[in-house]
Amino acid sequence: MATLVIPYKPQPRQAKYHQAKDVDELLYGGAAGGGKSEATIWDALKYALQYPNSRQVVFRRTFPDLQRSIIMRTLQVYPKELGKYNQSKHEWVFINGSVIELAYWDNDSNYMNYQGAEYDQIRWEELTQFEERWYVYMLSRLRGSKPYPRAVKSTTNPGGRRPLMG
């Protein structure tokens, strides 16, 4: 059997983010271009492969941002031997049954998309661009019957649209 090489070597701050254990909520902040989104996509892949049949969601504020920063990058770097991208659902489905949804949340009507949803990991890209009530609501979706570590992992940079908690 051939060895699969994962084409990612984390920078020191990314490595620190990946090593965080036993956290409920994690915020990775830094300047634009500092590798936060890159760390998110690789952290999500690692979790998906480590925990079979796990379910995650990665949020961006708008679909164009999601397409540019997350969807396109995962299509470039996720090994096709490990999973398949479903373009109509905007999700990766891996050979072990794990799923990573790539989603956007741009207004209050998005609540309806997540009624009854269960996630093992929820990831917010550029957290300060989202409303606090959306974040709080999604905390109730961090649940499930599998004994996996659950967490919310977010990224942000200075000068966001508005403070999340304000």
Helix or strand (DSSP H, E) at 16: helix 12-19
- CB count, 10 Å around CB of 27? 14
- CB count, 10 Å around CB of 86? 13
Structure token digits, residue 44: 């999500």
Query: What confidence category does residue 159 fall into, taking pLDDT thresholds of 50, 70 and 90?
Result: low
Please tell me the pTM assigned to this model: 0.91
**Ordered structural domains, the chain, with CATH:** 24-156 (3.40.50.300)
Q: What is the mean pLDDT of residues 110-119?
A: 94
pLDDT of residue 1: 52
E strand segments, the chain: 25-29, 55-60, 83-86, 91-94, 99-104, 121-124, 151-156
Residue 123 bridge partners (DSSP): 58, 153
pLDDT of residue 165: 47
